[in-house]
């Protein structure tokens, strides 16, 4: 597995982040879907989740949080599932929101949990950045929206970088600390 270093980091400004979030919002709006609830995957999913909730006029927010645990390796929910959605008759449209999607493991964990609690609902997935080479869809979701593609795995060819307009390197979001992110990435990549 790759060990990431500070040279792999590509910091994203707030302006660039806002532009990627705007692209994501426009793709979601173009779908014409009206959402009954939004599910931000915490921690960083709270940032785009709140912005999308405001712009899409979604008032029901269901926060979820997961953490990779080691020995044994597993994805664990660390926030209890909130009670059922009040005043939502029958099946509803739920928008799952994350900030950056690479392997999709966390997304799959959220989808599985939501399907158990809201089996008749339709699930949709949105992420501000999607890592090139990661999943393009998820089982049990109706659609997958993203704002910007990145080459965080360093697997795209030069032609793919140009064709897809990939953002190079490991994206460091404006609020993140490089050493903390590198530690987390390297711990995950060497133990999973």
Q: 54-83 pLDDT, tens per residue?
A: 999 999 999 987 665 455 565 555 556 665
Question: Per-residue pLDDT for 191 more than 70?
Answer: no
List CB contacts of 40: < 8 A, sequence separation 6 or more.
Answer: 46, 48, 49, 50, 61, 63, 64, 97, 98
In this structure, what are the phi and psi dihedrals at residue 47, rounded to the nearest 5 degrees? -70, -60
Question: The tokens of 185 are what?
Answer: 């990435």
3-state secondary structure 165-180: CCECCEEECCCCCHHH
Question: Per-residue pLDDT for 87 more than 60?
Answer: no
Q: How many CA atoms lie within 13 A of 156 on its CB side?
A: 21
Question: Per-residue pLDDT for 192 more than 50?
Answer: no
Torsion-angle region of residue 3: left (phi > 0), alpha (psi -120 to 50) or beta?
beta
In this structure, what are the phi and psi dihedrals at residue 13, rounded to the nearest 5 degrees? -80, 165
Which residues are registered as beta bridge partners of 95? 38, 124
What's the whole-model pTM score? Answer: 0.86
Q: How far apart are CA 10 and CA 161, in angstroms?
A: 15
Q: 173-187 pLDDT, tens per residue?
A: 999 998 888 887 777
């Amino acid at each position: 597995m790759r060990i990431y270093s500070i040279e792999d980091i590509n910091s994203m400004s707030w302006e660039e982040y806002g532009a990627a979030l705007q692209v994501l919002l426009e793709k979601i709006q173009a779908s014409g879907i009206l959402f009954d609830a939004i599910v931000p995957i915490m921690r960083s999913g709270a940032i785009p989740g709140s912005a999308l909730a405001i712009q899409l006029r979604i008032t029901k927010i269901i926060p979820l949080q997961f953490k990779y645990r080691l020995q044994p390796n597993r994805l664990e929910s660390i926030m209890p599932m909130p009670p059922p959605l009040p005043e939502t008759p029958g099946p509803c449209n739920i928008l799952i929101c994350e900030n950056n999607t690479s392997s999709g493991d966390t997304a799959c964990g959220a989808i599985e949990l939501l399907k158990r609690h809201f089996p008749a609902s339709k699930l949709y997935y949105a992420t501000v950045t999607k890592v090139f080479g990661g999943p393009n869809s998820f089982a049990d979701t109706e659609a997958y929206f993203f704002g910007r593609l990145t080459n965080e795995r360093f697997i795209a060819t030069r032609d793919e970088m140009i064709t897809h307009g990939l953002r190079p390197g490991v994206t460091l979001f404006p609020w993140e600390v490089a050493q903390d992110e590198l530690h987390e990435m390297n711990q995950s990549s060497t133990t999973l």
